[in-house]
Chain A
């Protein structure tokens, strides 16, 4: 079980600031969900934690700054699932998931028997064994999403960063993918940070939400604290009504701003 701490993390691009001084500690085994309008800095924050963009401030894994670790060591700690992963059409599912073992293989090395059997276990766990030798180009959207999660799982990293893992999926597959992440998190004790657009699903699956706006964290806490109609209308510029189900689920329902004809 591993914690992830952000201390005054800023991400700046040539002409803009994507994230401004974000601080938070994700406890071991916790699921933090980043929400916020497009361009709020969710992806940039995740990319900074994955070591893909330069950042100011410190990002610590179990108290040690990630900059102090080699690229390979960091990859063994943090798995990153990008918003639109590239899946080469003519690569097989097995070959693709096997790439997740890269952090454990030396520059001159090859996958060991352990790496291969590990991948088979992951495929079995995610019910993907049938697809092991299929070309990625022939997979459906839901299958592709599971394959990408399988690669992250093969990485055996205790921290998983998911950048809009369900944006391309229908409601059924969205639920399936998020249930899968949640089950795996409970099984393996993963720490999860995700960026999500669907506010209801974000509140439903995560332990805590952080609302970003123009790179600043403007609200953080449990779903019922962050998902308020007035907060959302202020930062998203939307009209919504928020319902509280008896089981604690917070449901965000969009409202029409123009009166219905």
Chain B
């Protein structure tokens, strides 16, 4: 009995731990960076902004502006991007019952890139005057098309039983999409620079406008995915058994894929391609807090946000004043960790 209680207690501990980790990541993210106030003035400056609290941080007006208009939007945006990518990764893994997939391996990001390229090619200038920016929508449709194609191809060759087939299908679709994109760019060399700056992302020049652009998508996508966390647990016993337990598998899968793709496409449109987050963070959470999606999804949101905020810090200071792209940092941290995960899974499988 004691082991049972201990285990339940340790598991329930992970939520506050993840919250503290996120708060610390947020604080560090706000404190470190070129220009701006001295790091030890930042907590006071943050406190000062809370309602009903007035603290003199001693920072100049300019330093305060650097903190609030340059550093903070970047930290917040990195947090949102990390949260959405991790949540989408965990959801894709659940709905495809495949521990190896993430938004990038399934071709979502490449599809979103193609959708965005199409908008640039057709004419960014004409769409500029439209009431709604078609860019996120095009990215979403491109991403959705890519993931559906990947699934159709993968499922056609036995993906439900063989996780590798789905990943290989994703690789094929990604290559195809990238090829089409390259072809389009060759034909329209005038938009190459715009497209590449879109693909590489603007985390380094993040503004509150970017946050406002991506936040509604993140909230909708996150809300829908969180609602499905119990059903993702039902899906863990497989499609047939889930169905015999009364789950409407096709509807659940479609809803989750659409929601995860929507979130991924939206964050890709502000942050560019950032790999490994969607696969590393959910696996880290699984190792520490167990594989139940009820815990996994909320913890992936918190841990993913903290992870990307922290990963963004070296990209700011490493090669100051030039920026190291954050995708490079996540790959640098993520690739070794991914290998470790594969190794531990192998040991478990034995």
- Listed in ascending order, the chain A residues whose CB lies under 8 Å from chain B are 47, 50-52, 71-76, 78-80, 82, 85-91, 95-96, 99-100, 102-103, 105, 107-111, 132-133, 155
The reply to whether A52 and B245 form a contact with Cβ atoms under 8 Å apart is no
Q: Is residue B328 within 8 Å, beta carbon to beta carbon, of the partner chain?
A: no
In the bound assembly, the distance between CA atoms of A107 and B231 in angstroms comes to: 8
In the bound assembly, the distance between CA atoms of A81 and B124 in angstroms comes to: 57
The reply to whether A90 and B290 form a contact with Cβ atoms under 8 Å apart is yes
The reply to whether B237 and A88 form a contact with Cβ atoms under 8 Å apart is yes
- Given A91-B236, A133-B8, A51–B292 Cβ distance below 8 Å? no
Which residue of the partner chain A has the closest CB to B290? A90
Tell me which of A47, A108, A133 contacts B227 (CB under 8 A): A108
In the bound assembly, the distance between CA atoms of A256 and B238 in angstroms comes to: 41
What does DSSP make chain A's interface, helix, strand, loop or mixed? Answer: loop
By CB atoms of chain A within 10 A, which of B230, B240, B244 has the most? B244
The reply to whether A90 and B245 form a contact with Cβ atoms under 8 Å apart is no
The reply to whether A71 and B238 form a contact with Cβ atoms under 8 Å apart is no
The reply to whether B8 and A102 form a contact with Cβ atoms under 8 Å apart is no
The reply to whether B247 and A102 form a contact with Cβ atoms under 8 Å apart is yes
Scoring B residues 234 to 271 as 1 if CB is less than 8 Å from chain A, else 0, what string do you get?
A: 10111011011111100000000000000000000000
The reply to whether B234 and A99 form a contact with Cβ atoms under 8 Å apart is yes
The reply to whether B246 and A74 form a contact with Cβ atoms under 8 Å apart is yes
Contacts of A102 in B (CB 8 A): 234, 245-247
Tell me which of B238, B286, B290 contacts A86 (CB under 8 A): B238
Q: Is residue B193 within 8 Å, beta carbon to beta carbon, of the partner chain?
A: no
Q: Is residue B49 within 8 Å, beta carbon to beta carbon, of the partner chain?
A: no
Contacts of A47 in B (CB 8 A): 240
The reply to whether B246 and A85 form a contact with Cβ atoms under 8 Å apart is no
- Given A91-B291, A133-B4, A52–B244 Cβ distance below 8 Å? yes
| Given A85-B237, A88-B291: 8 more A-B contacts, CB < 8 Å | A51-B243, A71-B246, A78-B244, A86-B241, A88-B236, A90-B290, A90-B291, A99-B245
The reply to whether A99 and B233 form a contact with Cβ atoms under 8 Å apart is yes
State how many residues of chain B have any CB contact under 8 Å with chain A: 25
The reply to whether A76 and B246 form a contact with Cβ atoms under 8 Å apart is yes
Contacts of A155 in B (CB 8 A): 245
In the bound assembly, the distance between CA atoms of A133 and B4 in angstroms comes to: 6
Contacts of A107 in B (CB 8 A): 227, 231
Contacts of B212 in A (CB 8 A): none
How far is the CB of B250 from the nearest CB of chain A, in Å?
10
Contacts of A95 in B (CB 8 A): 233, 292
- Given A86-B237, A86-B238, A91-B291, A133–B245 Cβ distance below 8 Å? no
By CB atoms of chain A within 10 A, which of B231, B237, B247 has the most? B237
Scoring B residues 318 to 350 as 1 if CB is less than 8 Å from chain A, else 0, what string do you get?
A: 000000000000000000000000000000100
In the bound assembly, the distance between CA atoms of A193 and B59 in angstroms comes to: 77
How far is the CB of B24 from the nearest CB of chain A, in Å?
28
In the bound assembly, the distance between CA atoms of A95 and B233 in angstroms comes to: 9
In the bound assembly, the distance between CA atoms of A87 and B241 in angstroms comes to: 11
In the bound assembly, the distance between CA atoms of A51 and B241 in angstroms comes to: 11
Tell me which of B236, B243, B292 contacts A71 (CB under 8 A): B243
How far is the CB of A28 from the nearest CB of chain B, in Å?
21
The reply to whether B237 and A133 form a contact with Cβ atoms under 8 Å apart is no
| A-B contact list, 28 entries, CB within 8 Å | A50-B244, A52-B244, A71-B243, A71-B246, A71-B247, A75-B245, A76-B246, A79-B244, A85-B241, A86-B241, A88-B236, A90-B291, A91-B233, A91-B236, A91-B292, A95-B292, A99-B234, A99-B245, A100-B245, A102-B234, A102-B245, A102-B246, A102-B247, A103-B245, A107-B227, A108-B227, A132-B4, A133-B4
